[in-house]
Structure 1
Amino acid sequence: MKITEIKSCFVGPAISPEQFIAEHFFLFLAKGNMNGYDGNRHYTLKAGESCLVCKNRLARYNKVRDNGEFEKVVLLFDEAFLREFFRKYNPPLSAHTPKDAFIRLKKDTLIPAFLLSLEPYYTGSGSINPVFADVKREELLLILLQSDPSLSGILFDFGIPGRLDLEAFMQKNYKFHVSMERFAFLTGRSLSAFKRDFKKIFNETPNRWLIKRRLQEARFLIEEKRQRPTDIYLDLGFEDLSHFSFAFKKEFGVPARNL
């Protein structure tokens, strides 16, 4: 079986649909492309490439089909699995801990061989036989650490985010559609402390400030950059076009399409 013939497969617990990465996961693209953004950089992953998507990061990504096809392999490295792996193998920890959400992995002949080895375990549900799931995740992790030992400093960091500059963080990440609990966690605060500090800094509730900030950016993009509402509302953190259109008209008194 050729590497480009690999079918979509998912191994491990489910991934949250939020624009927040709660657990590390390995991603390989067999067909299509993927575009990602983490607030700092834009990333593109092409067919035949793989990356590690890192936890406790805000990120969004979208798939681009190739002739109508998009095939990926995802293996989730949740904390419980990683703690057990660390206890079993006690790998040396690297001091190098990149802040990027997407880490492109080096080309390694063992990765394609590993991916092909999953085929006998495929089930009809787009996963592999759960009896072998941890064994295969362990095998992949050994390959990744052998190829790039610096990944250990990322994968086996079980700490929680430290306290950050709230104003700078929110001005940088207001476009991401995540819960207040996630924003609080990422800035090193309890939810109550996050809301209290937010009120002191912005003199506004988090929900109201986020909507107003996103709408201000939307107006700038439409008036100054001549972009269409249909092209920007998702990137600005709105769930659907109707919600964006209603909020925009309520805030500015005119429909977005009329600017």
Structure 2
Amino acid sequence: MKYTEIKSCYIGPEISPEHFITEHFFLYLAKGTIEGYDGISKYSLKPGEYCIARKNHLARYHKQKQDNEFEKVVVIFDTLFLKAFAEKHKIKAQKSEAEAAFVQLKKTNLVPNFILSLMPYYNEGGEIDETFSSIKREELLLILLKENPELTNILFDFAPPEKIDLEAYMNRNYKFNISMERFAYLTGRSISAFKRDFAAIFSDTPSRWLIQRRLKEGYFLLEKKGRKPSDIYLDLGFEDLSHFSFAFKKKYGISPSDILKLNLNK
């Protein structure tokens, strides 16, 4: 089955592009590849594969074009939509024990056929007409739940994150560039409780600890792995290369690029 006519599109409300996933969404990849990371595991998505990205999780993903093209279909299952769906279909869920940010789904003919069924609903701007978006979202969700019943406890768990082990969580997720408020929420704390617990565990402020922890990892990647500064600063949680270089030199008294030069001269 060919997908040459599929255009990249989003169905549902806009979601934040940051590392924090604010709403569940379905991702179908038509062309290209996607590499994902959630602080625990790495994931790979190839053409014809699809997954659910879970809300209230941290994730980073890199895309790679195929023949200079990258095409995907993203369907957002926001909380408002899911609550209405649960009420309509009398769905009751239990607390989900799954931790992964990405849930790879069972492959069937139903999902690819659904993707192809979207074609008549594209408007002239290459988007799905809003008149049909809710209907198509409901149709997709019915398909996914039929083929993947375990999604019920994932998608319809509307409870906020519970209080968890702060030390383990931060040591696993320090590379994600999100606000302190996000970290507090994801660890089941108010911002004041988060800062208080953080100081008791790490004897430092969250912002200062994050910078130092990222720089330590950066030094390891440069000195031991021979990585280039331009290849690692984003994955370490820095917004730009100049910020990484400035903070690195301030801590170690040498620039990241000079670390590479020293390695080459050994």
Rounded Cα–Cα distance in structure 2 between residues aligned with 1:241 and 1:24: 31
Q: Deviations over 1:162-214 (max 9, x none)?
A: 11111111111100111111100011001111112112222211111101110
Q: Aligned pair 1:257/2:257, yes or no?
A: yes
Distance 1:73 1:80 in 2: 21
Q: 1:5·1:30 contact (CA, 8 Å) conserved in 2? A: no
Q: Distance in 2 between the 1:92 and 1:18 partners?
A: 30
Counterpart of 2:249 in structure 1: which amino acid?
A: K
Q: Residue 95 of structure 1 contacts residue 150 of structure 1 at CA under 8 Å; is this kept in 2?
A: no
Hey, what does 2:131 align to over in structure 1? 131
| Corresponding residue of 1:7 | 7
Partner secondary structure for residue 149 of structure 1: coil
What letter matches 1:243 in structure 2?
A: H
Q: Are 2:153 and 1:157 equivalent residues in the alignment? A: no
Deviation of 1:137 (Å): 0.3
| Structure 2 residue aligned with 1:118 | 118
CA shift, 1:93, in A, is 3.5
TM-score (norm 2): 0.94
Q: Which residue of 1 aligns with 2:264?
A: none
Contact 2:86 2:92 in 1 (8 A): no
**Is 1:29 the equivalent of 2:68?**
no
- SS class of match (2:67): coil
The 3-state SS of whatever aligns with 2:30 is strand
Aligned counterparts, 1:1-259, within 5 A: 2-91=2-91, 93=93, 97-259=97-259
Q: How far 1:106 moved relative to its partner?
A: 1.0
Deviates more, 1:63-72 or 1:119-128: 119-128
User: Unpaired runs of 5+ in structure 1?
Assistant: none
Matched-pair identity in %? 59
- RMSD, aligned CA: 1.4
CA distance in 1, matches of 2:206, 2:118: 45
Distance in 2 between residues matched to 1:147 and 1:4, nearest whole Å: 26
* Alignment check: 8 A CA contact 1:96 1:150 kept: no
d(CA) in 2 for partners of 1:96, 1:196 = 28
Q: Secondary structure at the match of 2:150?
A: helix
Moved over 2 A (4+): 1-5, 91-98, 123-127
Q: Which range moves more in the overlay, 223-232 or 153-162? A: 223-232
Number of matched pairs: 259
Cα separation, 2, equivalents of 1:24 and 1:35: 18
Scaled by the length of structure 1, the TM-score of the pair is 0.96
Q: C-alpha displacement at 1:127, in angstroms? A: 2.5
SS of the residue corresponding to residue 93 of structure 2 reads: coil
